[in-house]
Amino acid sequence: MRILRIDSWDGAGGGAQEYIREVCAELGSRGHENRVINLTTLPAAPEAGLERNLLVRTTGPLRMGDDLVDLPELWALFWREYEEFRPDIVQLHHFDAGFTTIGRIVERLTVPVVFTAHDAELVCPISTLVRPGNVICEGGVRTRCLFTGCHVGFGGPYNLWQTRVFDQRVRPKVRAYLCPSRSLTGYLHSNGYQPAVHLPSFAHIPAAVQAEATPPAGPELPPTVGYLGRLEWYKGVHDLISGLPELVRKVPGVRLDIAGDGPFRLELERQASRLGVQDRVVFRGQVRGPAKEEWFRSVHVVATPSNMWENFPLVALEALVRGRPVVATDIGGIPDIVDDGSSGRLVRIGDPPALASAIAELLMRPDRARAMGAEGRRRTLGRYTPEIHLARLIAVYEAVVEGRTLTSGMEAEELRNVAA
């Protein structure tokens, strides 16, 4: 099968871009050809070894004004690639950069189209789905978004136009909306983006980690909580630090090991100093490869304290497959990954005391924490491996290309079972 992908995203690459690269590599190894028109400002990553499966084009930084007009160079680029490649299916990732032109392109396509919802932007202008006061929103990009207190601001008219373009030009062409989380599947279905098919993502698991009979235990001392990810406000690391004084009272000697970087790091460092816990917090910066594996071995519990909507945070999967229980907020796709009381604990968003209490519970009961980590590893290896994801994804492609009717809210696993 030939899949032509459009990554309509402009800005710093993240989990979605890594997903596209990994999926293309996995599909390529199975004989499926991929080509990507990449609108990010980032170049391809030849060190990933994917150049024989990926063709990445960079259109340059597309500003907001460019999104609202036709871009002849993008139009010509797409149709040149389309005519040369002759895909069986087109997969749209995001609907951001150059969306007016992308809308015109999709409107003209004669092959089936699927859309992967990497975030909640179809149903939330800023993809948070949380209003001020930690009120979970029902979703839907409408005029009311300008009056709920959300941080939409002057971008509201732009977001409304973006939604209108999608609804008029793209929605009639989409044969399936692929949603990594059950939460997003429900949001898209209830807002009219159908059929919304639940297709969980996967964790990239190094062979050595997967082959381990029993993951290595954490260090004897000190009791250590880990956070791995970008340092952004919505990731909730400030809630983790806010709860640290309470956690110290319950678990003397505890420390917080933060791996990652981002624009919020300086503020987090200042917050730790203000609370007098700077000696308990380590800001490690980015960790990759062997350093990342060493980091996982050095922590007892991993926290995912996001205070805004998360689609399918892979770091939680990465922690569980290494036998580390996860304490996380109960929002978005996190409950798909973390089974409360079985593989970790879930707490409500924006509640530092609850976060500290749940972490303390596991640190004070190491046997229970290890059992949760073991259960999380078992579940992850049984549900979220590349092999399982690819089998489900291919089953969706085949159903769409064959013209079969998909049901909104269905599991991609159902199509895999039919194919089998």
Q: Is the pLDDT of residue 44 over 60?
A: no
Q: Is the pLDDT of residue 157 over 60?
A: yes
The Cα-based distances of 256 to 40, 91, 271, 285, 289 in angstroms read 34, 40, 13, 13, 21
Please give the average per-residue pLDDT across 347-363, as a whole number: 97
User: What percent of the chain lies above the pLDDT cut of 90?
Assistant: 71
Please give the average per-residue pLDDT across 63-90, as a whole number: 88
Express each pLDDT in 279-312 by its tens digit: 999 999 999 999 999 999 999 999 999 999 999 9
Return the bridge partners of 346, or none: 328
Phi then psi for 292, rounded to 5 degrees? -70, -40
Return the bridge partners of 229, or none: none
Single-letter residue type at 213: A
pLDDT, position 150: 80
Q: Would you place residue 47 in the very low, low, confident or very high pLDDT band (cuts 50, 70, 90)?
A: very low
Taken as a whole, the chain contains a residue count of 420
Residue among 203, 182, 282 at smallest CA distance from 237: 282
Residue among 168, 125, 162, 164 at smallest CA distance from 146: 125
pLDDT, position 420: 52
- Give the chain's mean pLDDT: 89
Express each pLDDT in 358-382 by its tens digit: 999 999 999 999 999 999 999 999 9
pLDDT, position 219: 74
| Cβ neighbour number for residue 84 with a 10 Å cutoff | 9
Q: What CA–CA distance (Å, rounded) separates 233 from 264?
A: 6
Q: Provide CB contacts within 8 A for 344, sequence distance 6+.
A: 316, 320, 325, 326, 327, 328, 338, 362, 372, 376
pLDDT, position 148: 77
The Cα-based distances of 68 to 8, 96, 132, 252, 265 in angstroms read 14, 10, 29, 56, 34
Q: Is the pLDDT of residue 419 over 60?
A: no
Write out the two tokens for 208. Answer: 């050595």
Question: Do 199 and 181 form a contact (C-beta atoms < 8 A)?
Answer: no
Q: Would you place residue 50 in the very low, low, confident or very high pLDDT band (cuts 50, 70, 90)?
A: very low
Q: Is the pLDDT of residue 51 over 60?
A: no
Q: Provide CB contacts within 8 A for 202, sequence distance 6+.
A: 317, 384, 385, 386, 388, 389
Domains identified in the chain and CATH numbers: 2-204+386-419 (3.40.50.2000), 207-383 (3.40.50.2000)
Question: Do 82 and 62 form a contact (C-beta atoms < 8 A)?
Answer: no
- Report which of residues 44 and 22 the model is more confident about: 22
Q: Would you place residue 154 in the very low, low, confident or very high pLDDT band (cuts 50, 70, 90)?
A: low
Express each pLDDT in 233-274 by its tens digit: 999 999 999 999 999 999 999 999 999 999 999 999 999 999
Single-letter residue type at 410: M
Sheet strand arrangement including 281-285: 281-285, 255-259, 224-228, 301-304, 326-329, 344-347
Q: Would you place residue 355 in the very low, low, confident or very high pLDDT band (cuts 50, 70, 90)?
A: very high
Residue among 332, 336, 107 at smallest CA distance from 200: 336
Angle at 381 between CA 380 and CA 383, to 5 degrees: 65
Residue among 312, 389, 318 at smallest CA distance from 25: 389
pLDDT, position 54: 34
pTM of the model: 0.90
Q: Would you place residue 348 in the very low, low, confident or very high pLDDT band (cuts 50, 70, 90)?
A: very high
- Per-position b or e across 195-226, b if 16+ CB within 10 A of its CB: bbbbbbbbbebeeebeeeeebeebeeeebbbb
- Report which of residues 240 and 211 the model is more confident about: 240
Please give the average per-residue pLDDT across 50-62, as a whole number: 39
Question: Do 91 and 117 form a contact (C-beta atoms < 8 A)?
Answer: no
Phi then psi for 33, rounded to 5 degrees? -90, 140
Express each pLDDT in 77-123 by its tens digit: 899 999 999 999 999 999 988 899 999 999 999 999 999 999 999 99
Q: Is the pLDDT of residue 209 over 60?
A: yes
Express each pLDDT in 321-345 by its tens digit: 999 999 999 999 999 999 999 999 9
| Cβ neighbour number for residue 148 with a 10 Å cutoff | 12
Residue among 31, 169, 174, 45 at smallest CA distance from 116: 174
Q: Is the pLDDT of residue 62 over 70?
A: no
The Cα-based distances of 125 to 114, 120, 139, 279, 401 in angstroms read 21, 8, 9, 39, 31
Question: Do 222 and 255 form a contact (C-beta atoms < 8 A)?
Answer: yes
If DSSP codes are grouped into helix, strand and coil, which group holds residue 325?
Answer: coil
